[in-house]
Amino acid sequence: MLARMIRIRLFESALIECQKSGEIVGSLHTYIGEEAVAVGSCVALNDDDYIAGNHRSHGHPIAKGGDINKAMAEIFGKRDGYCKGKGGSMHLADFSIGILGESGIVASSVPVATGAALAAKLKNEDFISLVYFGDGASNQGACHESMNLAALWKLPVIFVCENNQFAVTTSYKDSVSVDHISDRASAYGMPGVLVDGQDALAMYEATTVAVERARSGEGPTLIEGLTYRYEDHSLGLASVRRDQSYRSDEEVEKWRKRDPIEVLKSNMIKQEIITQKEFDQIEEKEKISVEKAVDFARKSPFPAPEELYDDLFTDPIEFA
């Protein structure tokens, strides 16, 4: 759990550097500060369970055990990436380990994951699905419709709202009609729970219970992980990057003091599960693997122009 959180942090930090140097073009939405939500929930899943992400989803496939070489290459737009370099930052998918993919269209993955859960039910199979969406997405119609159907049909899906408190620059307190997004669950007829999203173990516990509910046919669960995005909404969108008036430096600093990696690390050291030296070794190992991923991405070729129209459509018969 700790290694995966460090991996996400270092992966995102490397991306920031590569974006600044011009190696990566386009916008990047980093996940730094929110690692505990993805990792705490993903470790409660099996490999054949599905996850679906959003525009801020580099962390989710890494938490699920994805290949950081392929993820890095994809974000670089290179041929060895997860989607052959044609998807980019918001499209990391690997069906072999249950990563359904992501989308820049806010809340659009919520019905995708709900559909995967419907497939599990119709096929009478044991897998479940889990979808990550933000506080902004929680207000979208697709989100409400999915939750309604999932509760009505008792689908094995877990809705994880990563409430990082801002939809770009709009505070959820100014845009969400209830105090906690998890409060909405009871209106759909499913349980909802507010969890400390900076604490991976708290996320793990809540997800474990939700997984048990889903697998035993009790239906969906809404988990709201209260967390915080340290960085700008996105890198590469100058107008958004410059506007920091929506939150104070003190607020950012306050949340940095409850850093999710530090929370888990200090817990493990206090419990004498690891030592500082062992933590340093884990960090060093992850640093090397991320450096290798950057190197892998740099060396990978861009897709050729004649491949532009390849892979646009899948064969529905073969896929089924």
Binding-site size, other proteins (CB under 8 A): 30
- Is 133 near other proteins (CB under 8 A)? no
Please list every residue from 214 through 253 that binds other proteins, using CB under 8 A.
Answer: 221
Shortest Å distance, C-beta 211 to other proteins: 11
Q: Which is nearer to other proteins, 132 or 172 (CB)?
A: 172
List the beta strands (DSSP E) in 102-174.
129-134, 157-163, 166-167, 170-171
Question: Is there binding between residue 24 and other proteins (CB under 8 A)?
Answer: no
Question: In this structure, are residues 207 and 223 in contact, taking their beta carbons and an 8 Å threshold?
Answer: yes
> Does the footprint of other proteins cover residue 272 (CB under 8 A)?
yes
d(CA 109, CA 132): 8
Instruction: Answer yes or no whether residue 43 interacts with other proteins by CB under 8 A.
Output: no
* Position 178 contacts other proteins (CB under 8 A): yes
288 part of the interface to other proteins, by CB under 8 A: no
The backbone torsions φ and ψ at residue 195, rounded to the nearest 5 degrees and listed phi first, read -125, 145
CB nearer to other proteins: pick between 266 and 281: 266
Cα–Cα dist 62/117, whole Å = 22
Phi, psi angles (nearest 5°) of residue 191: -75, 145
Residue 112 has which token pair?
């995708």
Torsion, Cα of 270, 271, 272, 274 (10° steps): -80
Least distance to other proteins, CB of residue 205, Å: 4
Task: State yes or no: residue 270 binds other proteins (CB under 8 A).
Answer: yes
Torsion on CA atoms 121, 194, 100, 119, rounded to nearest 10:
10
Q: Which is nearer to other proteins, 204 or 279 (CB)?
A: 204
Pairing between β-strand 170-171 and β-strand 99-101 as defined by DSSP bridges: unpaired
Question: Based on CB atoms, which residue is closest to other proteins, 99 or 203?
Answer: 203
Interface ranges with other proteins (CB under 8 A)? 173, 178-180, 182-183, 185-186, 191-196, 199, 201-202, 204-206, 209-210, 213, 221, 254, 267, 270-273
